[in-house]
Amino acid sequence: MKKTIKILGLAVLLITLIIGLTACGNKSKTTENRNEEITSKLSEQQKNAFNSQFDRYEGDDVSATSIRMLLTSITASNSSEKNAKIEVKGDIKDASQVNSRKSYKVSIEKDRNGVVSAVVIEEK
């Protein structure tokens, strides 16, 4: 009887781990699908308004202060359930990594609906 309970407990644990790992693997696809659903419903004016929050930071010689402001804007945008989530890529992922003495290159990636989906920040 005790062996059966242990085997059942291990089976439940194993199934939980498998489900958890599967969910982690599908997370980016789920986020991508959610983003596509949100951005496909936006008017051109809404897309332009959303994109303008981030497009202004794009460039080859962006200051550390501007990078911090950009990251703050992304965090604020990502905290709203109404907005598509913006991924941060490149050398800098959060404000603690920004060096005030350096400048940065920022490029913007957009989804197939023309809405900002990722921001790439690279040290110069």
- The CA distances from residue 43 to 21, 53, 113, 115, in Å, are 37, 16, 10, 11
Q: Which long-range contacts (CB under 8 A, 24 or more apart) does 75-83 make?
A: 77/50, 77/53, 82/38, 83/38, 83/50
In this structure, what token pair is assigned to residue 61?
């010689």
**Number of domains composing the chain:** 1
Nearest-angstrom CA–CA distance, 8 and 124: 56
Mean pLDDT of the chain: 83
Helix (H) or strand (E) holding 36: helix 2-40
Chain centre distance of CA 121: 13
Q: Which residues on adjacent β-strands are paired with residue 62? A: 104
> What's the whole-model pTM score?
0.73
Domain range spanning residue 49?
A: 2-123
Q: What pLDDT is recorded for position 18?
A: 52
Q: pLDDT tens digits, residue range 42-58?
A: 899 999 999 999 999 99
φ and ψ at residue 90, rounded to 5 degrees: 100, -155
